C-alpha cells in the first residue's frame, strides 16, 4: 500500500491518497495448480536402463505431454495402454507435483481398468494438498464432489480462515465426504471465521441422506459444539468416530449418551508413532527397479511386515477400554515432538477410515451401489486400504505456518494440537458392529433350519432371548388358567 499527496484543481483541495492493490486472483483454479519443481525431490534415474542414441519416441512424447498435463482430459488417456498411463504418472511425480485435477484424471482412469488396480492404485490411494483460503468455500467444495464415488474426500479446515458460518451449510453437497476435520487454533482471533456449531450440525441432519459415507468427524474448538451435538450426528448413518476437544463445561457428561460411548485422551503417543512409521508406505517414490509388476507387490508386503504395529496403534479407537493411558491429566497432550504430531495429523484420517471400513465391511460404500469385489488391500492381516482413493484438502488461513519437507509430502503445522484443550473426548457409535451382523444375517435363508436352530453352546448374547422366552411362557400360563 502506497500513499501520496494529491491536489484537485477543480475544488482546490489538497488530500492524501492511498493506493491499495487488489488481492491477487489465481490465474488458474486452485485444483489446477501444480507445485513448483524446486519443492519436489527428484528420483534418480535407473542408469542401467539408459541407452545411447536418439531418445525413444515415447520419451519425447512424455516430455511434451507432462508440461501440458492440465490440458489433458480423460478421453485422451482412455485408449492408451495401462502401462503407458502408469509411466505418465511416474514421470509426472518425478519432475513436478501434479494438480488435484491431474490426480483425479489418473485415478479415474485406473479405477476403470481391472488390470491396473492391483499395481498402480496403492500408489494413488491418497493425495494431500493444502491451500490458503482466499475464495468462497464453494470454490473449494466443487472439485471435491464425486457423486459416483470415484474418489472420497477428506476436508480439513484449520486456522482463522475468513468466511461466514452459513458457508459451512454447503458442505452437505459432498456426498463422498469421508473425513471432516475442523480445527480452530486461536479463540481470540476467530471472530471473522466460520463456526461449526450445533446449529450447523442440526441443519445438516435435517437434509435427506446426509453424508452417507462420513465415518470420521473431528471438531477441535472452544465454544463451538457441545454435548447436544450428539443428537444431531445420529443422522449421519456411517459415522463411527466423533473426536472433539473444547471446554469442560460444554462436555460435562453425567452418563453416556444413548447410542454412543466415549473415552478420554484417545490421541496417544502410541498412535502417533504407529502412524509416523507407516507414512512412507503411501509414497510413490519407489526406485525404478521396483516398478516391475512382479516385484512391486512383494516390496510393499515387506514394508508392511516391518511396521505391523500400525494395527495395534489404530485398534485404540475400536476398544471399549484402552489401558495405555499415557497422559494423566485430561488437559495435557501426550509429550511428543512436532515431527510426530504433524505426521500423524495428516495421516490419521486416512488410516482410521480404512480401519473402520474393515470393521464394518464397507457396507456404507456398498449401499451406494459400489462394487467392492476387488478391494485394494495389502496383506489383510496387517492393513487394508480404503476401496476408493481419498483426496485430502487442507484449508488454512493466510498466516498459517507450513513447509515442504524433503520427502515431498506437504505438512501443515497446527499449534493448537500441541497446546491442547480443557477436555478431549472420542465418541464411538455403539451399534456400528450390530448393524454389520444384521447385514450379514439378512443374506441367510429365512426358512432354513440353520437360521432357526439355536447354538449348542449358550453365549451371553443369547441370554436376553431366553429371558423373553421365559416371560412369554409365564404369560401364556396365566391365559391358560
In the chain, domain spans: 34-124, 125-440
pLDDT at 245: 85
pLDDT at 115: 64
* pLDDT of 89 over the 60 cut: yes
Longest dimension (CA), the chain: 113
Say which residue, 371 or 111, is predicted with more confidence.
371
Say which residue, 309 or 22, is predicted with more confidence.
22
Please, are residues 230 and 242 in contact by the beta-carbon 8 Å criterion? Answer: yes
Buried b (16+ CB within 10 A) or exposed e, 235-259: bbbbbbbbbbbbbeebbeeeeebee
Average pLDDT, the chain: 66
246 SS3 class: strand
* pLDDT bracket for residue 107 (50, 70, 90): confident
Cell reading at 232: 444431531
Question: Residue range 296-302: average pLDDT?
Answer: 37
* pLDDT of 236 over the 70 cut: yes
pLDDT at 428: 82
Nearest-angstrom CA–CA distance, 66 and 70: 9
Question: Residue range 91-96: average pLDDT?
Answer: 70
Question: Among 147-151, 177-181, 436-440, where is mean pLDDT lowest?
Answer: 436-440
* pLDDT of 199 over the 90 cut: yes
Pick the closest to residue 441 from 430, 452, 428 (CA basis): 452
pLDDT at 276: 45
Say which residue, 55 or 381, is predicted with more confidence.
55
Work out whether the CA dihedral 407, 410, 415, 419 comes out positive or negative.
negative
pLDDT at 144: 95
pLDDT at 172: 96
Strands 13-19 and 390-396: unpaired
Strands 216-220 and 410-412: unpaired
Nearest-angstrom CA–CA distance, 271 and 144: 28
Q: Dump pLDDT digits (tens) for 373-384.
A: 655 444 343 455
Question: Residue range 230-251: average pLDDT?
Answer: 90
pLDDT at 407: 34
Nearest-angstrom CA–CA distance, 220 and 218: 7
* pLDDT of 81 over the 80 cut: yes
Nearest-angstrom CA–CA distance, 215 and 196: 18
Question: Residue range 434-444: average pLDDT?
Answer: 40
* pLDDT of 249 over the 60 cut: yes
Measured CA to CA in angstroms, residue 39 lies from 148, 173, 270, 351, 429 at distances of 33, 33, 31, 26, 42
* pLDDT of 397 over the 70 cut: yes
* pLDDT of 110 over the 80 cut: no
Question: Residue range 3-10: average pLDDT?
Answer: 85
* pLDDT bracket for residue 387 (50, 70, 90): confident
Say which residue, 90 or 443, is predicted with more confidence.
90
pLDDT at 167: 92
Amino acid at each position: 500500500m502506497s500513499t501520496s499527496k494529491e491536489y484537485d484543481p477543480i475544488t482546490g483541495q489538497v488530500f492524501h491518497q492511498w493506493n491499495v492493490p487488489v488481492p491477487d486472483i489465481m490465474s488458474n483454479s486452485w485444483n489446477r495448480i501444480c507445485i513448483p519443481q524446486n519443492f519436489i525431490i527428484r528420483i534418480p534415474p535407473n542408469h542401467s536402463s539408459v541407452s545411447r542414441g536418439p531418445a525413444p519416441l515415447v520419451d519425447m512424447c512424455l516430455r511434451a505431454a507432462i508440461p501440458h498435463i492440465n490440458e489433458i482430459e480423460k478421453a485422451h488417456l482412455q485408449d492408451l495402454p495401462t502401462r503407458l498411463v502408469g509411466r505418465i504418472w511416474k514421470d509426472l511425480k518425478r519432475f513436478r507435483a501434479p494438480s488435484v485435477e491431474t490426480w483425479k484424471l489418473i485415478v479415474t482412469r485406473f479405477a476403470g481398468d481391472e488390470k491396473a488396480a492391483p499395481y498402480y492404485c496403492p500408489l494413488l490411494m491418497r493425495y494431500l494438498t493444502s491451500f490458503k483460503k482466499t475464495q468462497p468455500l464453494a470454490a473449494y467444495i466443487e472439485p471435491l464432489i464425486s457423486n459416483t464415488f470415484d474418489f472420497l474426500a477428506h476436508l480439513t479446515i484449520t486456522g482463522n480462515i475468513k468466511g461466514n458460518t452459513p458457508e459451512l451449510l454447503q458442505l452437505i453437497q459432498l456426498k463422498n465426504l469421508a473425513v471432516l476435520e475442523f480445527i480452530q487454533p486461536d479463540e481470540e482471533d476467530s471472530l471473522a471465521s466460520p463456526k461449526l456449531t450445533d446449529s450447523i450440525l442440526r441443519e445438516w441432519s435435517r437434509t435427506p441422506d446426509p453424508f452417507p459415507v462420513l465415518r470420521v468427524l473431528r471438531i477441535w474448538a472452544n465454544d463451538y459444539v457441545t454435548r447436544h451435538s450428539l443428537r444431531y450426528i445420529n443422522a449421519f448413518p456411517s459415522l463411527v468416530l466423533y473426536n472433539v476437544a473444547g471446554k469442560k463445561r460444554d462436555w460435562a457428561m453425567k452418563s453416556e449418551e444413548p447410542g454412543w460411548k466415549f473415552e478420554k485422551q484417545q490421541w496417544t503417543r502410541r498412535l502417533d508413532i504407529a502412524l509416523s512409521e507407516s507414512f512412507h508406505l503411501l509414497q510413490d517414490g519407489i526406485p525404478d527397479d521396483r516398478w516391475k509388476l512382479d516385484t512391486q507387490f512383494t516390496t510393499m508386503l515387506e514394508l508392511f511386515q516391518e511396521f505391523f504395529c500400525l494395527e495395534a496403534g489404530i485398534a485404540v479407537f475400536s476398544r471399549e477400554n484402552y489401558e495405555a493411558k499415557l497422559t494423566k491429566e485430561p488437559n495435557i497432550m501426550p509429550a511428543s515432538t512436532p515431527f510426530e504430531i504433524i505426521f500423524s495429523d495428516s495421516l490419521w484420517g486416512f488410516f482410521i477410515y480404512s480401519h473402520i471400513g474393515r470393521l464394518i465391511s464397507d457396507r456404507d460404500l456398498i449401499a451406494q451401489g459400489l462394487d467392492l469385489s476387488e478391494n485394494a488391500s495389502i496383506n489383510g492381516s496387517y492393513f487394508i486400504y480404503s476401496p476408493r482413493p481419498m483426496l485430502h484438502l487442507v484449508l488454512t488461513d493466510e498466516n498459517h505456518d507450513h513447509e515442504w519437507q524433503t520427502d515431498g509430502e506437504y505438512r501443515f503445522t497446527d499449534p493448537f494440537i500441541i497446546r491442547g484443550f480443557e477436555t478431549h473426548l472420542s465418541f464411538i457409535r455403539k451399534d456400528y458392529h450390530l448393524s454389520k451382523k444384521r447385514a450379514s444375517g439378512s443374506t441367510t435363508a429365512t426358512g432354513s433350519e440353520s437360521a432357526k436352530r439355536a447354538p449348542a453352546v449358550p453365549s451371553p448374547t443369547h441370554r436376553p432371548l431366553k429371558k423373553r422366552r421365559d416371560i412369554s411362557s409365564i404369560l401364556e400360563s396365566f391365559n391358560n388358567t
